[in-house]
Structure 1
Amino acid sequence: MRLGGRLAAAIEVLDDIDRRHRPAADALKDWGLSHRFAGAGDRAAIGNIVYDGLRRRRSAGWLLDDDTPRAVGFGALLLEWRETALSLNEALQGDKFAPPPLSPDELQTIAVRGAGTAPDAIRADCPDWCAPLLQRAFSDEWVGEGAALAARPPLDLRVNTLAANRPDVLAELAETGAVPSDLTDHGIRIAPIKDGGRHPNVQAEPAFRKGWFEVQDEGSQIAAELTGAEPNMQVLDYCAGAGGKALALSAAMENRGRIFAHDAEKTRLAPIFERIRRSESRNIEALSKATELTALQGRMDIVLVDAPCTGSGTWRRRPDAKWRLSQKQLDARIAEQAAILRAAKAYVKSGGYLVYVTCSVFEEENRDQIRAFLDREAGFAPVDHEELWASRFAGHADAARVDPHLGICLSPAKSGTDGFFFAKLRRAA
């Protein structure tokens, strides 16, 4: 399939996403099922155009002065694939499966718009209602942070130190272009893909099947490390999901002590059992029933709350979610987070720690939540987050935004990770 056919397919998928208000992954899967002739390379390229278009939707629409799937698809190629308007039209010539080439009016618009400077919210590639949220979170750097959240992400891995070490895993993955991560001692990074390429299927690697590594964004790895879990501790991962952080904590604890992995939704917790088996983690116990937590009250050295959130920090990986998000959904997440913190504090022992993490960049879900919790709960106090960051990531003082009292913020532009927030509170002895 030539570029024109791939572009036409991407426009078709983008139209399906818009009309049916559905996730991009579902729309791409359905397209693939109805076009079984398409090879893996075609599917990857079509997916790249779709995701590039969703990441850069505002910029693409502004460039062509239109917000249709056609404009978004063409704009994705112009903004991310190193195509020019003329080279793109040349590539479409003679391709019977291609969409109509750029018209004279479209070419003129691209020439004029491309020579100018777009408004801030366009350059940040965010919905208008989210612009004040980003501005509050990042101040004068908000446009750059929004743009970073609209870039292609790397593929990050975490070495499972219960089964392997980083040099051995790097040797196993040498053909993938994997390199050591910048911040974490056990992280590995594969650079963002270019144009129509695709990341290697690392989960098909023998090293993955042997449990040598897990796929995990470096920001999530950093949050797990800052948690401070040590051998022989008692830890409750209160919103464990598929168990990524529980597995990282298990390795940090050297399989000693106990980790109770709980999630209110059994379906979210389901993948953890296979991951535990593969990683050789022996100190994780999965708990799906609230009644199973009763005996843990007041006994935990650390309670980790990886709270449900808007996911605004993961927009570069899930850009379609950016356009489906609403103020109503944000308000619901804020209320849910406050309720979870109120419930989770009961499991922290005297002198223990409550750790709060989100994959959001919005202050309303992050420092505002910590400030409100501390106002309500006189028995908790924040650790010195500047000291905590320096103790774990010495030499990387500028890689995070650190508030001594209210937490640590990671972001694509600042840390090279997804957007994460971390706060650690100590219960009075």
Structure 2
Amino acid sequence: MRLGGRLAAAIEVLDDIGRRHRPVADALKDWGLSHRFAGGGDRAAIGNIVYDALRRKRSAGWLLDEDTPRAIGFGALLLEWNQTAQSLNEALDGDKFAPPLLNADELKAIAARQLDDAPPVVRADIPDWCEPLFEQAFGAAWVEEGAALATRPPLDIRVNTLQADRSKVLAELAETGAKAARIAPHGIRIPPIAGDGRHPNVQAEPAFQKGWFEVQDEGSQIAATLAGAEAGMQVLDFCAGAGGKTLALSAAMDNRGQVFAHDAEKARLAPIFDRIRRSENRNVQIVTKPTELGALSGHMDIVLVDAPCTGSGTWRRRPDAKWRLTQKQLDARKGEQSAILDAAKAFVKPGGLLVYITCSVFDEENGEQIAAFRDRNSGFVSVDHRQLWDSRFPGHEAAARIGAAGGISLSPALSGTDGFYVCALRKGG
């Protein structure tokens, strides 16, 4: 397929997403199933246009003065593919599968507009209702941080130190452009793709099958490191999900002590079993029954709460979620977070840590949530988060925001990671 056919397909997928309010992954999968003639390269390029259009929906639509699937599809190519209005029309001219060329009104709008002149919320590529949330979280840097959440993400890897070291994995992945991560000591980063490129399928690598590494954003790796798990400890991952942080904690403990992985929705735990077998994490116990969980009450050195949240810190990877999110959904997540914190506190032993993590950038889910918890529970006190950060990641003092009331925030513009929040509370003895 030429660029015109790929653009037309992307516009079709964007229209499907908008009309049926579907996740982008589902819409792309269905398009591929109904267009089996499209090769892997074509599907990757179409996906890139769709994801770029959703990440840059506000700015792409602003350039063409409308937010239709056609406008944001063309806008994505102008913003992310080094195309100009002239080069696009030249590339599409004569291609019977291409959408209609840019018309006079569209060309006029593009020629008259420079993104630097757009309203701040457009340059940040966020919904209008999120503007005060970003201002609250980032202050004067809110536009820059919003824009960073609209860029293409890297592919990050965590080396499984039970099986390999970083130099060994880097040697295996040398052809992918992989480099040591900036902050995470066991992290590896493959840079963001450009144009119609695609990330290598690292899960097809023999090194992955042998358990040498896991795919995990560097921010998630940093959050697990900040929890401070050490050999011999008793640790409860209270919202373990698929187990990414569980495995990181287990490796940090060198398979000594116990990590208990629990999730209120058992189905979320399903992937963890294969991951444990592949990685040889031998100190992980899966806990689903209330009787098993109850036996841990008051005995844990660390209780990790990777709370359900809006996922606003992951908008680089899931840009469709940015446009589906509502205040009602944010309020629902806040209620869940409060209830989970109140349940998880019972498992912390005197002197132990309750570590709260979200992949959100919103203060309402982060610092405000912790402040409300402490108002309800005077027996928990925030640790010195500046000292915690500097002790774990010396030399990276400027790579995190330390909240006035405690807590550590990561973000794409500042840290080069997804958006994360980490707060550690110590239970009084």
Q: Under TM normalisation by the shorter chain, which class is it?
A: over 0.9
Counterpart amino acid of residue 58 in structure 2: R
Aligned to 1:4: 4
Q: Equivalents in 2 of 1:391, 1:381: separation in Å?
A: 19
Shift in Å at residue 105 of structure 1?
1.2
Aligned to 1:323: 323
- Whether the aligned pair in 1 keeps the contact of 2:301 and 2:353 (CA below 8 Å) is yes
Counterpart amino acid of residue 96 in structure 2: K
Mapping for residues 2-401 of structure 1, pairs under 5 Å: 2-114=2-114, 117-401=117-401
Aligned to 1:408: 408
Normalised TM-score (structure 2): 0.99
Q: Equivalents in 2 of 1:256, 1:96: separation in Å?
A: 63
Residues 402 and 160 from structure 1, CA distance in 2 versus in 1: closer, same or farther, beyond 3 angstroms? same
The more displaced of 109-118 and 76-85 is 109-118
Shift in Å at residue 250 of structure 1?
0.5
Q: Equivalents in 1 of 2:270, 2:288: separation in Å?
A: 9
How many residue pairs align between the two structures? 429
Counterpart amino acid of residue 129 in structure 1: W
Q: Equivalents in 2 of 1:91, 1:292: separation in Å?
A: 63
Counterpart amino acid of residue 292 in structure 2: E
- Whether the aligned pair in 2 keeps the contact of 1:384 and 1:405 (CA below 8 Å) is no
Q: Equivalents in 1 of 2:405, 2:383: separation in Å?
A: 7
Query: Deviation per CA, 1:173-201, whole angstroms, max 9, x where unpaired?
Result: 00000000000110000000000000000
What residue ranges of structure 1 are gaps of 5+ in the alignment? Answer: none
- Whether the aligned pair in 2 keeps the contact of 1:386 and 1:403 (CA below 8 Å) is no
- Whether the aligned pair in 1 keeps the contact of 2:220 and 2:245 (CA below 8 Å) is yes
Q: Equivalents in 2 of 1:164, 1:228: separation in Å?
A: 21
- Whether the aligned pair in 2 keeps the contact of 1:374 and 1:381 (CA below 8 Å) is yes
Query: Deviation per CA, 1:28-54, whole angstroms, max 9, x where unpaired?
Result: 000000001100000000000000000
- Whether the aligned pair in 2 keeps the contact of 1:385 and 1:404 (CA below 8 Å) is no
CA RMSD of aligned residues (A): 0.7
Query: What percentage of aligned pairs have identical amino acids?
Result: 74
- Whether the aligned pair in 1 keeps the contact of 2:154 and 2:193 (CA below 8 Å) is yes
- Whether the aligned pair in 2 keeps the contact of 1:160 and 1:279 (CA below 8 Å) is yes
Q: Equivalents in 1 of 2:243, 2:392: separation in Å?
A: 23
Counterpart amino acid of residue 300 in structure 2: M
- Whether the aligned pair in 2 keeps the contact of 1:385 and 1:405 (CA below 8 Å) is no
Shift in Å at residue 288 of structure 1?
2.1
Residues 115 and 348 from structure 1, CA distance in 2 versus in 1: closer, same or farther, beyond 3 angstroms? closer
Counterpart amino acid of residue 147 in structure 1: A
Residues 190 and 22 from structure 1, CA distance in 2 versus in 1: closer, same or farther, beyond 3 angstroms? same
Q: SS in structure 1 opposite 2:426?
A: strand
Residues 115 and 315 from structure 1, CA distance in 2 versus in 1: closer, same or farther, beyond 3 angstroms? closer
Q: Equivalents in 1 of 2:405, 2:391: separation in Å?
A: 16
Q: SS in structure 2 opposite 1:264?
A: coil
Q: Equivalents in 2 of 1:217, 1:68: separation in Å?
A: 32
- Whether the aligned pair in 1 keeps the contact of 2:359 and 2:418 (CA below 8 Å) is yes
- Whether the aligned pair in 2 keeps the contact of 1:16 and 1:27 (CA below 8 Å) is yes
- Whether the aligned pair in 2 keeps the contact of 1:358 and 1:422 (CA below 8 Å) is yes
What residue ranges of structure 2 are gaps of 5+ in the alignment? Answer: none
Q: Equivalents in 2 of 1:193, 1:419: separation in Å?
A: 20
Q: SS in structure 2 opposite 1:296?
A: coil
Shift in Å at residue 208 of structure 1?
0.2
- Runs of 4 or more consecutive aligned structure 1 residues displaced over 3 Å after TM superposition: none
Normalised TM-score (structure 1): 0.99
Q: SS in structure 2 opposite 1:260?
A: strand
- Whether the aligned pair in 2 keeps the contact of 1:17 and 1:27 (CA below 8 Å) is yes
Shift in Å at residue 266 of structure 1?
1.3
